[in-house]
């Protein structure tokens, strides 16, 4: 039986009214329904949830009948997206742990290596709680009577700020290796401590990340890098020897990578735009430079840059599927570095107007701080952005070497 907690610190005014409407509509249709997971966890921690998830006894098809305009998505984990105004509420059906004696075909859901390939065996709320990943994510909130349902001592772990897997960590990581990255991301993001058995099972399970589709790995790493605690999460990736698995081309983390992670965390804290492409550009920068230098010394330098970038990104794609928009971003940031270093007078204005200039400039600043380029170069690009057009032209003209006046030879007098 779950522990029902009426005395808690969930601020009702922070709960999405749209999510509550979804809960109410499903209950009106006689389905057991609650808010669940990260939104409940964050509310209890005094944080503002990014989104709200709902768990219900209704199957996806039954949810669709209640909300005809909802969308059924997913194959591995079938869920329903219900749009209420501008919000999308994710609705999932209570699941249960897949066992070898389950009435459904076990082989259709679990691969030989133990990885769950489909998770669509439905159950009740008790079974649903025990198949969730972490205890702090298995808390259910009932908006009707303002109570929290706790089946796995999640409130206790929330109080001690402990990240604990439900069940046997070795088995749970084997079922879904992405839980390794979730454990690291949430531990860093929430400033929690990994429970001992949850922690010790990570490194031995690391190789199983190779079984995860590359697109899914990118999605999870994107969340990790954009969490606002990327620097701390990266330290944990290093601690558990996961970098060489995820980024085999860049297992030797540099100060440049650390600086890029710190810069991204700072920008998120200041609510400035960020992109995972910036961190990926830093992670693979040394590999890009090595590839560029390995190409023949003859030939068009620009073509060599494109070839080097394409090779490095394609190699990384075997592990992590980098979307095209981020791959193009990385390529542009890398290519612009040489142009920023050369400072050819006629290229200065086009560079300042380039759509990737700001990102390339920020990357140059990180390289200057790490002694890859002269600090004066970065300072020059910093200053020129503060000048008006006339002053900019004067600074650009100063780059051109002064032509020496040719001395005329005196005319020879005829004898």
- 53 as an active site residue: the answer is yes
Catalytic residue among 42, 53, 150, 176: 53
* 409 confidence band (pLDDT: 50, 70, 90): low
Give me the sheet containing 71-73, strands edge to edge.
3-5, 147-150, 139-142, 33-36, 53-56, 87-93, 79-84, 71-73
Write out pLDDT tens, residues 11-30: 999 999 999 999 999 999 99
CA distance 55 to 165: 20
Q: Which pLDDT value is given to residue 415? A: 46
Q: Which pLDDT value is given to residue 408? A: 63
For the chain, the first-to-last Cα distance in angstroms comes to: 123
* 405 confidence band (pLDDT: 50, 70, 90): low
Strand 193-194 vs strand 162-163: parallel, antiparallel, or unpaired? Answer: parallel
CA distance 265 to 270: 9
- 191 as an active site residue: the answer is no
Please give the CATH number for the structural domain made up of 247-388.
1.10.3090.10
Mean pLDDT of 99-106: 53
Instruction: Say if residue 102's pLDDT is above 70.
Output: no
Mean pLDDT of 249-264: 86
Residue whose C-alpha is closest to residue 263's, from 349, 170, 370, 355:
370
Instruction: Say if residue 116's pLDDT is above 70.
Output: no
Catalytic residue among 42, 119, 128, 133: 133
Q: Which pLDDT value is given to residue 410? A: 63
How would you label 253-288 residue by residue, b for 16+ Cβ within 10 Å and e otherwise?
beebbbbbbebbbebbeeeeebbbbbbbbbbbbbbb
Q: Which pLDDT value is given to residue 107? A: 47
Strand 71-73 vs strand 79-84: parallel, antiparallel, or unpaired? Answer: antiparallel
Q: Which pLDDT value is given to residue 101? A: 55
* Number of Cβ within a 10 Å radius of residue 69: 7
- 51 as an active site residue: the answer is yes
The two three-digit tokens of residue 177, written as one number: 């290796």
Mean pLDDT of 50-63: 96
Mean pLDDT of 314-331: 96
| Residue 122: HSE in the Cβ half-sphere, 13 Å Cα cutoff | 13
Tokens 């698995």 found at: 245
* 106 confidence band (pLDDT: 50, 70, 90): very low
> What residues does each domain of the chain span?
1-160, 163-227, 247-388
CA distance 78 to 61: 10
Assess contact for 95 and 122: CB atoms under 8 A: yes
Q: Which pLDDT value is given to residue 68? A: 96
Strand 87-93 vs strand 53-56: parallel, antiparallel, or unpaired? Answer: parallel
Go through the chain and tell me how many residues it has.
Answer: 415
Mean pLDDT of 245-258: 83
Q: Hey, what long-range contacts does 412-415 have (CB within 8 A, 24 or more apart)?
A: none
Higher pLDDT, 113 or 247: 247
Write out pLDDT tens, residues 197-226: 999 999 999 999 999 999 999 999 999 999
Q: Which CATH architecture has domain 1-160?
A: 2-Layer Sandwich (3.30)
CATH number assigned to the domain with residue range 163-227, chosen from the 4 options 1.20.210.10, 3.40.50.2020, 1.10.110.30, 3.40.1190.20: 1.10.110.30
Strand 71-73 vs strand 53-56: parallel, antiparallel, or unpaired? Answer: unpaired
How would you label 28-67 residue by residue, b for 16+ Cβ within 10 Å and e otherwise?
eeebebbbbbbbbbbbbeeeebeebbbbbbbbbeebbebb
Instruction: Say if residue 315's pLDDT is above 80.
Output: yes
Which helix or strand (DSSP H or E) is residue 150 part of?
strand 147-150
* 406 confidence band (pLDDT: 50, 70, 90): low
Instruction: Say if residue 296's pLDDT is above 80.
Output: no
Q: Which pLDDT value is given to residue 1? A: 78
Q: In the chain, what percentage of residues exceed pLDDT 90?
A: 83
Mean pLDDT of 250-275: 90
Write out pLDDT tens, residues 140-180: 999 999 999 999 999 999 999 999 999 999 999 999 999 99
Mean per-residue pLDDT of the chain:
91
Mean pLDDT of 69-81: 90
Provide the 3-class DSSP secondary structure of residue 368: helix
The stretches of 56-177 forming alpha helices (DSSP H) are 60-66, 106-109, 125-131, 154-159, 169-175
């Amino acid at each position: 039986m779950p522990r029902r907690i009426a005395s808690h610190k969930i601020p009702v005014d922070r709960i999405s009214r749209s999510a509550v409407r979804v809960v109410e509509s499903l209950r009106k249709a006689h389905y057991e329904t609650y808010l669940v997971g990260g939104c409940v966890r964050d509310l209890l921690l005094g944080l503002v949830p990014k989104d709200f998830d709902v768990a219900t006894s209704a199957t996806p098809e039954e949810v669709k009948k209640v909300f005809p305009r909802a969308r059924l998505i997913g194959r591995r984990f079938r869920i329903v997206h219900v749009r209420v105004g501008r919000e999308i509420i994710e609705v999932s059906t209570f699941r249960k742990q897949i066992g070898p004696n389950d009435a459904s075909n076990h082989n259709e859901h679990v691969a030989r290596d133990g990885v769950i390939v489909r998770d669509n065996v439905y159950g009740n709320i008790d079974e649903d709680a025990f198949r969730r990943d972490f205890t702090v994510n298995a808390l259910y909130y009932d908006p009707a009577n303002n109570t929290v349902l706790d089946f796995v001592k999640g409130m206790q772990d929330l109080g001690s700020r402990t990240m604990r897997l439900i069940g046997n960590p070795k088995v749970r990581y084997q079922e879904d290796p992405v839980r390794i990255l979730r454990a690291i991301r949430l531990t860093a993001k929430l400033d929690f401590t990994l429970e001992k058995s949850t922690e010790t099972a990570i490194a031995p399970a690391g190789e199983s990340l190779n079984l995860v589709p590359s697109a899914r790995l990118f999605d999870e790493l994107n969340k990790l890098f954009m969490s606002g605690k990327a620097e701390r999460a990266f330290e944990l990736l290093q601690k558990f020897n996961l970098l060489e698995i995820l980024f085999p081309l860049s297992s030797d983390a540099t100060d440049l990578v650390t600086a890029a992670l710190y810069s991204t965390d700072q920008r998120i804290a200041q609510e400035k735009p960020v992109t995972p492409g910036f961190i990926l550009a830093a992670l693979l920068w040394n590999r890009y430079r090595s590839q560029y230098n390995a190409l023949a010394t003859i030939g068009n330098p620009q073509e060599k840059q494109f070839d080097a970038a394409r090779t490095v990104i394609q190699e990384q794609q075997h592990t992590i599927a980098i979307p095209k928009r981020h791959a193009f971003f990385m390529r542009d940031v890398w290519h612009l570095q040489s142009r920023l270093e050369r400072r050819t007078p006629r290229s200065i204005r086009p560079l300042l107007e380039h759509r990737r200039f700001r990102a390339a400039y920020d990357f140059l600043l990180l390289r200057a701080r790490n002694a890859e380029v002269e600090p004066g170069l970065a300072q020059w690009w910093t200053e020129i952005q503060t000048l008006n057009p006339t002053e900019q032209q004067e600074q650009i003209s100063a780059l051109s070497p002064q032509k020496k006046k040719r001395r005329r030879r005196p005319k020879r007098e005829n004898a």
